[in-house]
Amino acid sequence: MRTLIAGNWKMNGTRAMLGELDRIAAIAAATEQVDVAIAPPFTLIGEAAAHAGAVMIGGQDCHSADKGAHTGEISAPMLVEMGAGFVICGHSERRAEFDETDAVVLAKAQAAQNAGLIAIICIGEDEAERDEGRALMVVASELDGSVPATATAANLVVSYEPAWAIGTGRTPTADEIGEMHGIIRAKLLQLLGEEGRGVRILYGGSVNAGNASTILACPDVNGALIGGASLTAEQFVPIIEAAANVSQ
């Protein structure tokens, strides 16, 4: 299974940031054993795809319908036309700020996969759920509710992102990450049969150059989804290099 290092620029980036992408693309081209992906804001997807080289460009969200009266929304076929290869579905910021339920995330992931995109489905507990000892239950039920039954290892990536670790500098321990990823793998096997064995499971939440090697070496961690540290080549490239070393 190839390691995937994916960056989510969130609501950051104007054209000036495409220079960072050029620098990231140069390293990605030289790092054959790792897949590298970036989700810039919608406004940059077309230009980013033209700059990207070996970096797969994707969206941070899509609507579940292909077209229609949904002011301000972007559909999966629109992303494809701009050169996107994947879309993030159900990021915790979307679940929290825009009330996206598992059913909404499922519909978006289905639309993405129907359009030929890889859906990166995000799941993960918040701090209260972890404190109450419900993290494993929350993650299992999010997988039940948001993974399309027809998903395959080729069009699905799951990203475990505990909300309390996003942008905070805090991460679960390596043991906690390994335990959760093992549970996610078992759940994917239950939901998708043997196909679930090949689905890549990323970890996301305060991944940086300092902790990437430890996190990527955890069992069933097949890559990372990175927010803050994906915004500059200076911070993102060492994570790609760490992934290359771990996967050797």
Instruction: Return the active site residues.
Output: 91, 161
For the chain, the three-class secondary structure string (H helix, E strand, C coil) is CCEEEEEECCCCCCHHHHHHHHHHHHHHHHCCCEEEEEECCHHHHHHHHHHCCCCEEEECCCECCCCCCCCCCCEHHHHHHCCCCEEEECCHHHHHHCCCCHHHHHHHHHHHHHCCCEEEEEECCCHHHHHCCCHHHHHHHHHHHHCCCCCCCCCEEEEECCHHHCCCCCCCCHHHHHHHHHHHHHHHHHHHHHHHHHCEEEEECCCCCCCHHHHHCCCCCCEEEECHHHCCHHHHHHHHHHHHHHCC
x/- letters, 124..163, toward ligand PGA (CB under 6 A) = -------------------------------------x--
- Stretch of residues binding ligand PGA (CB under 6 A), selected from 11-19, 44-52, 99-107, 220-228: 220-228
Among 52, 156, 184, 226, binds ligand PGA (CB under 6 A): 226
Among 167, 175, 186, 210, binds ligand PGA (CB under 6 A): 167
- Stretch of residues binding ligand PGA (CB under 6 A), selected from 21-29, 42-50, 72-80, 198-206: 198-206
What is the nearest approach in angstroms of ligand PGA to the Cβ of residue 11? Answer: 12
The CA distance from 175 to 228, in Å, is: 24
Residue 139 — φ and ψ, nearest 5°? Answer: -65, -45
Q: Which of residues 1-20 bind ligand PGA (CB under 6 A)?
A: 8
| Nearer to ligand PGA (CB atom), residue 74 or residue 207 | 207
Q: Does 219 interact with ligand PGA (rule: CB under 6 A)?
A: no
What is the nearest approach in angstroms of ligand PGA to the Cβ of residue 194? Answer: 28
Among 227, 240, 241, 244, binds ligand PGA (CB under 6 A): 227
| Nearer to ligand PGA (CB atom), residue 75 or residue 171 | 171
- Stretch of residues binding ligand PGA (CB under 6 A), selected from 59-67, 106-114, 184-192, 202-210: 202-210
The site for ligand PGA (CB under 6 A) is made up of 8, 161, 166-167, 204-207, 225-229
